[in-house]
């Protein structure tokens, strides 16, 4: 199965190395449901702190990373993270390149028919600008006529474009929306003066504001559950049970406190939506 991974274009995908995995129990998922026996292979784009990011030591960290590792541990599988840009993830998983998307994928009805989605957290959107900006807005529609950046192929982009289209339908002036492959590229363009504002999730915007250079104008917009996505129903059900166990023993709450993310109120986690048809 490893040969399938090598088929991806160079630069699209890289393996994140971890210390040697000591398997002390038998895998709880049969190899027939996995891309590679004994391993839980997950795609990740570590450009969205505090969800997933690479620290100054080059270590992969974040809420979704730690939850992914914990899920794998509870299933007696080795966690393997494959780094790639977000737009490639859904096609790559459908092509059986890996088992799960571990990026905090926003839930949509459309996506729930393509993959098995397990909601595990909640996110909303923020609008942020350079610290020296004089832009003043009270709602997304106030970005009309301004140059705004957003990460491509994300719920952030979808919500921003929906608000813009609704405003234009009422006769308003459109925003100049520019999409980037990653949040990092979006922020770089903002700091370089190529954008007037940018849109991303609350937690990422808050982290950027703490680091300096940007300030948040709006937050808490369009709150939506985020999910882990799986190609196989058996794996999804096992992961949901693992998250339920994390909630029961306190691991879930501890991780959310550590990374400052927003919990779901659930005590039992499960697949939401019909899955692939």
Residue 54 predicted with pLDDT over 90: yes
So what's the pLDDT on residue 277? 77
> Encoding tokens for residue 157?
């982009």
* Residue 57 burial (C-beta neighbours within 10 Å; 0-12, 13-18, 19+): exposed
Average pLDDT of the chain is 91
Bridge partners (DSSP) listed for residue 147: 176
210 C-beta neighbours (distance < 10 Å), count: 10
So what's the pLDDT on residue 18? 52
So what's the pLDDT on residue 113? 96
Strands of 214-230's sheet, edge to edge?
14-16, 78-83, 39-44, 100-106, 214-230, 116-130, 197-201, 147-151, 176-180
So what's the pLDDT on residue 232? 98
So what's the pLDDT on residue 118? 98
Superfamily for the 2-122+226-259 domain: Periplasmic binding protein-like II (3.40.190.10)
Give how far the C-alpha of residue 219 lies from the chain's centroid of Cα atoms, to the nearest Å: 18
pLDDT in tens, 153-193: 888 999 999 999 999 999 999 999 999 998 899 999 999 99
CATH class belonging to 124-223:
alpha beta
So what's the pLDDT on residue 226? 93
DSSP codes joined into one string, 72-117: HHHTT-EEEEEE--GGGHHHHHHTTS-SEEEEEEEP-HHHHTTSEE
What pTM did the predictor assign? 0.76
> Encoding tokens for residue 222?
């369009």
So what's the pLDDT on residue 21? 55
So what's the pLDDT on residue 260? 84
Q: For 40-44, 70-74, 204-208, which range has the lowest pLDDT when averaged over its residues?
A: 204-208
121 C-beta neighbours (distance < 10 Å), count: 22
Parse the chain into domains and list their residue ranges: 2-122+226-259, 124-223
95 C-beta neighbours (distance < 10 Å), count: 12
Residue 1 predicted with pLDDT over 50: no
pLDDT in tens, 70-93: 999 999 999 999 999 999 999 999
pLDDT in tens, 228-243: 999 999 999 999 999 9
Q: Which residue has the tokens 């794998």?
A: 72
Judge if 2-122+226-259 and 124-223 fold alike in CATH terms. yes
Q: Give, in order, the Cα–Cα distances in Å from 118 to each of 54, 91, 173, 232.
A: 24, 19, 38, 12
Average pLDDT over residues 4-29: 57
So what's the pLDDT on residue 17? 46
Give the side-chain half-sphere CA count within 13 A for 202: 18
Q: Which residue has the tokens 């794996």?
A: 235
So what's the pLDDT on residue 11? 39
pLDDT in tens, 113-158: 999 999 999 988 999 999 999 999 999 889 999 999 999 988 899 9
Q: Are 201 and 151 in contact (CB under 8 A)?
A: no
Residue 9 predicted with pLDDT over 80: no
As a whole number of angstroms, the distance between CA 115 and CA 185 comes to 27
So what's the pLDDT on residue 16? 58
Q: Are 240 and 119 in contact (CB under 8 A)?
A: no
Residue 250 predicted with pLDDT over 70: yes
So what's the pLDDT on residue 275? 96
So what's the pLDDT on residue 23? 61
As a whole number of angstroms, the distance between CA 135 and CA 131 comes to 10
């Amino acid at each position: 199965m490893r040969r399938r991974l090598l088929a991806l274009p160079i630069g699209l995908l890289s393996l994140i190395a971890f210390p040697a995995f000591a398997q002390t129990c038998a895998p709880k998922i049969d190899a027939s449901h996995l891309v590679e026996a004994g391993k839980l292979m997950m795609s990740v784009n570590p450009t969205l702190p505090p969800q997933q990011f690479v620290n100054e030591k080059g270590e992969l960290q974040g809420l979704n990373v730690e939850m992914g590792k914990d899920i794998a541990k509870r299933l007696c599988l080795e966690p393997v993270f494959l780094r790639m840009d977000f737009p490639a993830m859904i096609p790559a998983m459908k092509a059986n390149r890996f088992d799960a998307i571990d990026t905090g994928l926003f839930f949509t009805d459309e996506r729930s028919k393509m993959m098995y989605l397990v909601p595990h957290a909640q996110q909303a959107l923020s609008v942020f600008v350079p610290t020296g900006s004089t832009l003043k807005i009270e709602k997304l529609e106030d970005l009309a006529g301004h140059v705004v950046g957003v990460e491509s192929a994300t719920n952030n982009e979808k919500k921003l474009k929906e608000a813009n289209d609704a405003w234009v339908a009422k006769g308003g002036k459109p925003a100049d929306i520019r999409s980037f492959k990653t949040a990092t590229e979006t922020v770089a363009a903002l700091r370089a003066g190529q954008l007037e504002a940018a849109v991303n999730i609350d937690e990422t915007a808050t982290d950027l504001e703490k680091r300096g250079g940007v300030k948040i104008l709006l937050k808490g917009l369009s709150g939506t559950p985020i999910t882990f996505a799986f190609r196989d129903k058996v794996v999804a059900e096992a992961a949901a049970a693992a998250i339920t166990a994390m909630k029961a023993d306190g691991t879930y709450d501890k991780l959310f406190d550590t990374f400052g993310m927003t919990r779901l109120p659930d005590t039992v986690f499960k697949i939401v939506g019909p899955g692939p048809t």
